[in-house]
Amino acid sequence: MQVIEGDIIRTIRAYHPWFDHYHTAGNPGRYELDEQQELLYKPIIQAIATTGYTGYIGHEFIPTGDPEIALRQAFEVCNIRTA
């Protein structure tokens, strides 16, 4: 979506009724959801959450360090609760 649309959050808000699954992958590389990525995942995940989406979000990544720590960090980025 980043390559084709370029406006991730606005696209999510506009077309979320047609999304059955979200699948993310980092760029550059397929690494942790951190500040080294082009996309800031916390606001993206927040935008998804505000649509009422209750399904899974798949993220493909290759940890550069300890896989357990990387998975915990990814969970923290994606663990957003809406009011």
> Can you give the pLDDT of all 83 residues of the chain as single tens digits?
777 777 899 999 999 999 999 998 888 888 888 888 888 888 999 999 999 998 888 888 889 999 999 989 888 888 876 54
pLDDT at 81 (0 to 100): 64
Domain edges within the chain: 8-78
- Per DSSP, the residues of 7-56 read -HHHHHHHHGGG-S-EEEE-SSSS--SSTTSSS-HHHHHHHHHHTT--S-
